[in-house]
Structure 1
């Protein structure tokens, strides 16, 4: 139970100690969680796929103009590069046979996010790039220690900060870019020092912008909240969010129960 006395005191507390790692539960969603961590074999496969995901494009196809956002920011991209996305492949085939303008309007997209999407389509990654630290045998984000990577984005019409990697994951879902979804999920697990309020608003965004059968991002948030439950318990933001309700908190309740059952089963005598 959350007491009202905690509301103002710990509103800005962050979960800097908690990152996406392995959880004790191996139950599958729905209603439970798995945090997206991988085995050593999967890590090896992932390193290989990241390095081979994109070959250098030939850059000989026609140029497509993309008008993005409410301010109608203009981007240009090669048609062959765009068509790595099933979404843009369908858009090109459907539109360009009728028009020679080679223009696609994306009024609901965020220019900052779309810039990262294009960067990925051309280079196989987006800023801050994912780097492998051989000395520590782990993945890191470039500029992570220098504070150079902006981790949150303010979306038009939402008015609250959302983790950039969460928005990119959801955008990749719409565009049919499965490898980009994996990359965004991996990067999100490396973020630290993010406010509790941002985690909760980002979790809500993830639930609102992913289908029910795509549990990876949702499960990441459930596992993260459970691991950092003591911080969230002191957060007035959590109390406000839970009072608002929604499927996120039903899933969180079930995941918590499963987590407690797992702990109980490991402690019970055999």
Structure 2
């Protein structure tokens, strides 16, 4: 999978969790400035949409008045969402499901028992608004992407509880994997930009999220995986001391650690090449 060389950013000091100095906002600089956020994003809207029973986002395309309403039953608790059919049809996944349903246009229903309601809420928010809470903001002075500044009472947790792993995962990683499932390439780019823009994440959560990313993305999709490899290498002193890392490696079961081995070898090779003195044509070093 990682046949090309793994580019490793400079290392920095580390703590048990990851501070602001260890954010990986720049690790996704290969994307153009306009690639991260859809043109449909509404800068003036700062409030998070309601995610509980059957309330729909307030902002919607102009032709929604003639579009059927689809009921979505999400998660083990069977949370109810509602959305316009033409909005859901932007996703190849939902378009196929709706086309296969032999139901009356007034009673369309989709069940998503394995999805987390909080994640589906973010997906639905993106489909209506082009981004999800908290939104991306481009810092023109630094030429970098940041998360919008929120008042203290509106702060959100960067992790969610996922019933599939019975533990905490980074929300943006789960959103990325949901976007992969639903065929939303632009949402994948938005979620990828948000990776690493949070601080105070424990090593165990990073590893669990990396394992989840490997389990829910194809081998051909290396961008999210490369982000986690870069993060672990960049914070290698922390992970070296982490008993969680030792347990993860002992249990194995994923491609993660072979990819990490290759990435570390590339990193060491790069350091060795940079520190080797140049040799003149006479064969004698300078």
Q: Same fold (TM over 0.5)?
A: yes
Q: Deviations over 1:60-119 (max 9, x none)?
A: 211111111111111000111100000011111111x44442111111111111011000
Number of the residue aligned with 1:233? 240
Number of the residue aligned with 1:126? 132
How many Å apart are 1:51 and its aligned residue? 4.7
Aligned residue pairs, count: 241
How many Å apart are 1:54 and its aligned residue? 6.0
The structure showing larger relative contact order (alpha-carbon pairs under 8 Å, at least 6 residues apart) is 1
| Contact 1:143–1:149 under 8 Å retained in 2 | no
Q: Which has the higher helix share?
A: 1
Query: Stretches of 4+ moved more than 6 A in 1?
Result: none
SS at match of 1:66: strand
Superposed, 1:30-49 pairs within 5 Å as 35-38=27-30, 42-46=31-35
Number of the residue aligned with 2:48? none
RMSD: 2.1
Q: Once structures 1 and 2 are overlaid, which stretch shifts more, 165-174 or 243-252?
A: 243-252
SS at match of 2:188: helix
C-alpha distance in 2 between matches for 1:44 and 1:159? 36
| Contact 2:122–2:132 under 8 Å retained in 1 | yes
C-alpha distance in 2 between matches for 1:210 and 1:137? 29
| Contact 2:214–2:256 under 8 Å retained in 1 | yes
Q: Which has the larger radius of gyration?
A: 2
| Contact 1:36–1:219 under 8 Å retained in 2 | no
Gaps in structure 2 of 5+ consecutive residues: 1-14, 43-59, 279-286
1:14 paired to 2:25: no
Q: Give the TM-score of the pair, scaled to structure 2.
A: 0.78
Number of the residue aligned with 1:215? 222
Number of the residue aligned with 2:172? 165
